[in-house]
Structure 1
């Protein structure tokens, strides 16, 4: 446990020391929340834009750390032989992965506090079920961390960099983050409906609405995506 906690603290420090990591994990979701809130961009069915934007940016924060930051950092650690060496220490490979996931959850806690604080300044008031929201965020974390590790362990570091950033942009535009998928044109709406980001963002909107509902369909979709990503990662992840 001591080795696990020490590695988790190091993973958090490495993320916070990285300018690129801070940009993706903390700056971009917060900046987009402020930008869209100032413009008042949100579907008409929401009384206040921030009621739509906060769940969207919470989902984006999960994607930022779980997919982009985790995958790129892990891929370059594999490229430079760090994963191989750490896996051979008493820490072991299993606890190394757990430490990485623990660091992701820690950064997400910081992201959530920051986003909620900004949302409060734009008139957002807590509604819905906080417990359900936490459960959905943890499930979304499992989904996108699994995808991040899958990419990091299967392709070259340079390819991981391009693929993760490309997926990040796709999920923002078509995955229910910037705008609900039902407002997109037909083929794009169908594509967006299938993306895990849409399931996460829609689930968060459901549980944070004034009349919260358990989003069973979205939860089932996230579980299926997580199982799929883990199954593929188990077969394709290479430590060196």
Structure 2
């Protein structure tokens, strides 16, 4: 008994293992999954949207963190956007990645077509997508209460935002990849509160005592806060702050490459 060529070809196609999706599609699918996980988690959504919104309203109403001759809403928006960036790039990513590491997700990812590089690329895209949502939501709230942004200032804030995302994202991954999950949860939340409250985000470095001002200027949060105030609140642009933020970004990436562990063992 003979088999027709078409039947043989159909059988060969049936036995052949399905090919993985193209790399870009895999990364985009993972990014969408990461974004859904982030935005469907009540605690992470609170950190990403609710807390920055409270910072916005609080700094707008209270005489705190203001610059002379600058509308309170402008300084409040700058501090709010910095808070939102740190909350998502640093705190949320540290916690989510830490739990993925403990649950063996990172070990499993290395054996899939997505791979470690695709996993990290998806996380970066998900973080950027979440940032866009944060800016839209918080920006609408700010517009309602009187914010009138300057287009050039917004454009100037884009490279600052990207550098800040790299700096704080790498620091979040570093914590997630080196500490135990319980420690990641505690350390990331504690550092978030400290960086926002006393790390140069809510209050400009000039408002600190002289002995602390130099320390705040060297923190990534202090550099981010100063640069966003320069872009969004007519503050003085500091080359030093730009260099500090870039150095933290480069150092963070190098540290992740050197010390990040994909498993607990």
| TM-score class, shorter | over 0.9
Q: For residues 189 and 173 of structure 1, what CA distance do their matches in structure 2 show?
A: 14
In the alignment, is residue 135 of structure 1 matched against residue 162 of structure 2?
Answer: no
* Number of aligned residues: 239
Q: For residues 70 and 249 of structure 2, what CA distance do their matches in structure 1 show?
A: 33
Q: Secondary structure at the match of 1:85?
A: helix
Paired position in structure 1 for 2:72: 49
Paired position in structure 1 for 2:10: none
Paired position in structure 2 for 1:30: 53
In the alignment, is residue 187 of structure 1 matched against residue 211 of structure 2?
Answer: yes
Match of 1:169 among 193, 200, 214: 193
Paired position in structure 1 for 2:227: 203
Match of 2:137 among 110, 114, 118: 114
- Runs ≥4 residues deviating over 6 A: none
In the alignment, is residue 15 of structure 1 matched against residue 38 of structure 2?
Answer: yes
What displacement does 1:39 show? 2.8
* Deviation sequence 1:37-90 (CA, Å, 0-9, x none): 133434250432111110111011110001100001000100010111012100
* Deviation sequence 1:181-229 (CA, Å, 0-9, x none): 221123332321211011111111112245x876432221111011111
Instruction: Report the more deviating stretch, 40-49 or 113-122.
Output: 40-49
Q: Secondary structure at the match of 2:112?
A: coil
Q: For residues 179 and 86 of structure 2, what CA distance do their matches in structure 1 show?
A: 19
Q: Check conservation: 2:56, 2:76, Cα contact below 8 A.
A: yes
Q: For residues 131 and 213 of structure 1, what CA distance do their matches in structure 2 show?
A: 16
What is the TM-score normalised by the length of structure 1? 0.94
Q: Check conservation: 1:174, 1:181, Cα contact below 8 A.
A: no
Paired position in structure 2 for 1:151: 175
Paired position in structure 2 for 1:66: 89
Q: Secondary structure at the match of 2:202?
A: coil
Gaps of 5+ in 2: 1-23
Q: For residues 20 and 229 of structure 1, what CA distance do their matches in structure 2 show?
A: 26
Paired position in structure 2 for 1:227: 250
Match of 1:97 among 112, 120, 133: 120
- Cα distance, 1:158–1:45 mapped onto 2, change above 3 Å: same
Paired position in structure 2 for 1:84: 107
- Note the aligned Cα RMSD (angstroms): 1.6
Q: Secondary structure at the match of 1:129?
A: helix
- Cα distance, 1:214–1:172 mapped onto 2, change above 3 Å: closer
Q: For residues 49 and 33 of structure 1, what CA distance do their matches in structure 2 show?
A: 10
